[in-house]
Amino acid sequence: MRILEAADMSQVQTTTVDAAERFLQRRTPLQRLHSILHRYPALSPAVVLVLAALVFGAINTRFFAPANLSLVAQQVAVVGGLAVGQTLIILTAGIDLSVGAIMVFTSIVMAGSAANFGVPGPAALVIGLVFGTLAGGLNGLLVTRLRLPPFIVTLGTLNIFTALTLLVSNGASIQGRNIPDVLLWTGQAIAIGPFRLTTGVVLMLAMYVIATYVLRNTAWGRHIYAVGDDREAARLAGIAVNRILLSAYLVAGLVFAITAWILIGRVGAASPNAATDANLDSITAVVIGGTSLFGGRGIIIGSLLGALIVGVIRNGLALAGVDVLWQTLVVGVLVIVAVATDQWIRRVRA
Amino acid sequence: MTAMQPSLQPNLQPGPTTRQPVIEARGLIKTFGSVVGLDAADFDLYPGEVLAVIGDNGAGKSTLIKCLSGATIPDAGEILVEGQPVAFRRPQDARAAGIETVYQSLAVVPALDIASNMFLGREIRRHGPLGSVFRMLDHGQMRAIARQQLLALGIGTLQEITQAVETLSGGQRQAVAVARAAAFGSKVIILDEPTASLGVRETGQVLKLIRDLRDRGLPVVLISHNMPNVFEVADRIHIQRLGRRVAVVTPTSHSPSEAVAIMTGAMEGAAGLAASA
C-alpha cells in the first residue's frame, strides 16, 4: 500500500515537472530576440551602425562618398584604438579613466625624447611603448596589490598623468617638424580603392584582429572573461586572478601607447592638450558596443562598432547641418539605451 | 573504553589502521579574527571509501574542506597526502596533487559555455606551432571531451555544449561542476553539499555518481546536511562539531538520530566513537 502511494506520488510529480518544463520552454518572439542578443552581443551595435548609415545616407548622399567614409575612419582611429584597451579592462569588471591621460603622456614622452634629447625615432617609439605599458602596470599594481577599486585608482592616475604631461612638456606642443618620421608614419595615407585610409587606421584595425584572436582562442583571453564575470569562481577554478588582472592592465597600457603613436600621426604633432574627451569617448564606444560594465560579457569587435557608431552619428549629423551640441546629446542618449539593453540582455532565464 | 585516545584515531574497520590514508590532517587550526573556524581538527580519508562529513552550521565543515582543497590556508596544523606533508597555498596546488573539489557555490563562470567551464584553468592547446607559438586553444577537442564526460555521467539532457552555463538549470550546473571534478580528479573528489539544490531525480543521479566514482577507485568526501543521503551512500561518517572532529561512525554502527545527537552535542562524541569501536 505504501509502495503504491509512493509510485502514485512520483507519477504526479513527473507530470507536473514535465508540464513545468514545457511551460518554461515556450518561447515568445521577444524571448527569441533576447536569447539571440544574449548569444551574439555584437549584433545590436551592428544593426544600429547599419541603420544609422542608411538614415544618414538617405538624408545626404555625400555621406556614402568614399572621401567622407575615409574621414570617419580616420576620426575614429584614436578612440577606436583606446577602446581596445578599455574593453580589456571593462571585461575584467574594471574601468579605466586614465586611458586618455596615459595616451597623451606617452605621446609627449615619445615625441619629446626625440625632439628634446635627440633620441633616434625607433628608440623613441620603444621608450614610449615601454612608458605606456608601465603606466598601465601602475594601475594594475594599485588595483591588485592595494585592492583599490579601478574607478578610484584610474581617477587618481588620470590626474597624475595629466599633471606629468603638463610638467614634462611645459604645456607646449612639440611641432611636427621636430618629430622623427617613424612617429609620424601612422599619419601616412594608404589608398585602398577609392578610400584613403592612414597607416594609423590599419594599425587600429590590426589591434582589433589580434585582440579578437587572443580573447577567443587563448586561455588568457578566456580567463579575462572568467575573472570579470565571477572572480571567486575563477579563483576556485584555479585561475591566478591577480596575475590576470595585472597582465590585463599591462596589455591595456601597451595598447594606449600604440594609440599614442596613432595620435601623433593623426594630429601631426604631440600636444599636451590633445584628445581631452578620449577617456569618456573610449568608455562610450565600449558600452555602445555591447560590452557589459559589470564585466565578463561582450566582444571586442563590438567596441569598434561602438566607436564607428559615434563617428558615423557625429559625421552624419554634421552633414545634415545639425548643431554640434545635438551630436553630443544623441551620443548621450545612445549610451543610456545601450546600457539599458545590456541590463535587459543580462537577465537570463535559467 | 580504556583504549579510547583523545586523538580519536579511527579504528572502526579492520582496514583503516593498517592502510595509509589518502589524505590526513592533524590539528588544523583556522581563525577568522575572533571567530574560530577550526579548533585542532583532524581528518582521515582512506582509499576506496565514501567519507561523509556532517556537522551543524558553523561546525567548520566548509573551512575544513577549504583547507584540504587549497582555497583556505590553515593557521596551524598539517595536511598529508599519501603520507607526504603538503602546504597548499592555492586551489591549483590541491588540484595538482589530484584533489578535485565541487564547491557549494559550484565555482562555474555563468557567462562561459559548458566546455570552457570544464576546462577553465587547464585548457587544452592545439598541437604544433599553433598551440605552442600562438597559444591557440583546441576548442573542438575540449568540447568533445566535455560532451563525453557528461554522457558518461548519464547527463545527456544538455542541449549544447557551447551553451552558456547561466542558461542551465541548477541541477544541470551541478552536473557540469561534478563532471569537471570527475574528469580531472586523480586521487580524491570532494563534494560540498552536492544535492542541496537538486530535485529527487537529480539527487539520485548524484548519489549514483558518487558510488560510480568509488567503484572506479576514487575516494569521495561528501559534505552534506541530508542525513538520508549520507546514510545511503557513505562508508564512514566524520562528525564535526565546534571546529573539531568529535566522532567517526558508520551507517551500521549508528542510527541517523544518534549521529544527529553527536552532531548537536546531545550525545558525547567520544561515547559515540567508543560505542562503535
* pLDDT tens per residue, range B188-222: 999 998 888 777 877 887 888 889 888 888 899 99
**Is-contact A306 A80, C-beta < 8 A?**
no
**Helices A99-117 & A241-267, crossing angle to 10 degrees?**
60
How big, in percent rounded to 5, are the helix, strand and coil portions of chain A?
Answer: 80, 5, 20
Q: Which residues of A touch B (CB under 8 A)?
A: 10, 13, 17, 35, 38-39, 213, 217-220, 222-223, 225-226, 229-230, 232-240, 296-297, 348-350
Phi, psi of B148 (to 5 degrees): -55, -45
The pLDDT > 70 percentage for chain B reads: 88
Chain A partners of B136 at a C-beta cutoff of 8 Å?
Answer: 217-218
Per-residue confidence (pLDDT) for residue A279, from 0 to 100: 87
Chain B partners of A223 at a C-beta cutoff of 8 Å?
Answer: 120-121
Distance of CA B45 to the CA centre of its chain: 11
**Which triple of cell numbers denotes residue B14?**
579492520
Phi, psi of A313 (to 5 degrees): -65, -45
Structural domains of chain A, ranges and CATH numbers in brackets: 41-345 (1.10.3470)
Chain B partners of A240 at a C-beta cutoff of 8 Å?
Answer: 90, 92
The type of residue at A305 is: L
Does the beta-carbon distance from A223 to B121 stay under 8 Å? yes
Best interface-test mutation with A: which of B90, B109, B143, B165 has the largest number of A CBs within 10 A? B109
Per-residue confidence (pLDDT) for residue B18, from 0 to 100: 64
| CA dist list (Å): A200 to A186, A197, A254, A266 | 4, 8, 15, 7
Per-residue confidence (pLDDT) for residue B170, from 0 to 100: 77
Task: Label residue B2 by pLDDT band (50, 70, 90).
Answer: very low
In the predicted structure, residue B80 carries a pLDDT above the cut 50: yes
Chain A partners of B199 at a C-beta cutoff of 8 Å?
Answer: 17
CATH node for B23-98+185-276: 3.40.50.300
Per-residue confidence (pLDDT) for residue B155, from 0 to 100: 65
Per-residue confidence (pLDDT) for residue A5, from 0 to 100: 39
Does the beta-carbon distance from B135 to A219 stay under 8 Å? yes
In the predicted structure, residue B267 carries a pLDDT above the cut 50: yes
**For B98, left (φ over 0), alpha (ψ -120 to 50), or beta?**
left
ipTM: 0.79
* B113 secondary structure, DSSP code: B
Residue B150: which of B118, B189, B198, B120 has the closest Cα? Answer: B118
Least confident of A47-56, A125-134, B122-131, B175-184: B175-184
In order along its 350 residues, chain A shows pLDDT tens digits of 334 333 343 333 444 456 666 666 667 788 888 888 888 888 888 998 999 999 999 999 899 999 999 999 999 999 999 999 999 999 999 999 999 999 999 999 999 999 999 899 999 999 999 999 999 999 999 999 999 999 999 999 999 999 999 999 998 999 999 999 999 999 999 988 889 899 999 999 999 999 999 999 999 999 999 999 999 999 988 899 999 999 999 999 999 999 999 999 999 999 998 887 888 899 999 999 989 999 999 999 999 999 999 999 989 999 988 888 888 898 889 889 888 888 888 776 44
d(CA B45, CA B22) in angstroms, rounded, equals 6
Per-residue confidence (pLDDT) for residue B277, from 0 to 100: 36
Nearest Cβ partner for A222 among B123, B164, B167 = B123
Q: Which residues of B touch A (CB under 8 A)?
A: 71, 90-92, 95, 101, 103, 105-112, 116-117, 120-123, 125, 134-137, 139, 164, 166-170, 199-200
Can you list the alpha helix ranges (DSSP code H) found in chain B? Answer: 61-68, 91-96, 114-118, 128-132, 139-152, 170-184, 200-215, 227-233, 256-264, 269-276
In the predicted structure, residue B10 carries a pLDDT above the cut 80: no
B24, β-bridge pairs: B44, B80
Does the beta-carbon distance from B167 to A348 stay under 8 Å? yes
Residue A156: which of A96, A107, A200 has the closest Cα? Answer: A96
Per-residue confidence (pLDDT) for residue B17, from 0 to 100: 54
| CA dist list (Å): B2 to A289, B18, B277 | 74, 21, 11
- pTM here is 0.85
Does the beta-carbon distance from B120 to A218 stay under 8 Å? no
Min Cα distance B131 → chain A (Å) is 9
Min Cα distance B35 → chain A (Å) is 22
In chain B, domain spans: 23-98+185-276, 110-173
Nearest Cβ partner for A229 among B101, B111, B139 = B111
Does the beta-carbon distance from B166 to A17 stay under 8 Å? no
d(CA A6, CA B266) in angstroms, rounded, equals 33
Nearest Cβ partner for A226 among B90, B120, B135 = B120
Best interface-test mutation with A: which of B93, B112, B172 has the largest number of A CBs within 10 A? B112
- Chain A: residue nearest B181 by CA? A237
**More confident call, B152 vs B253:** B253
Chain B partners of A229 at a C-beta cutoff of 8 Å?
Answer: 109-112
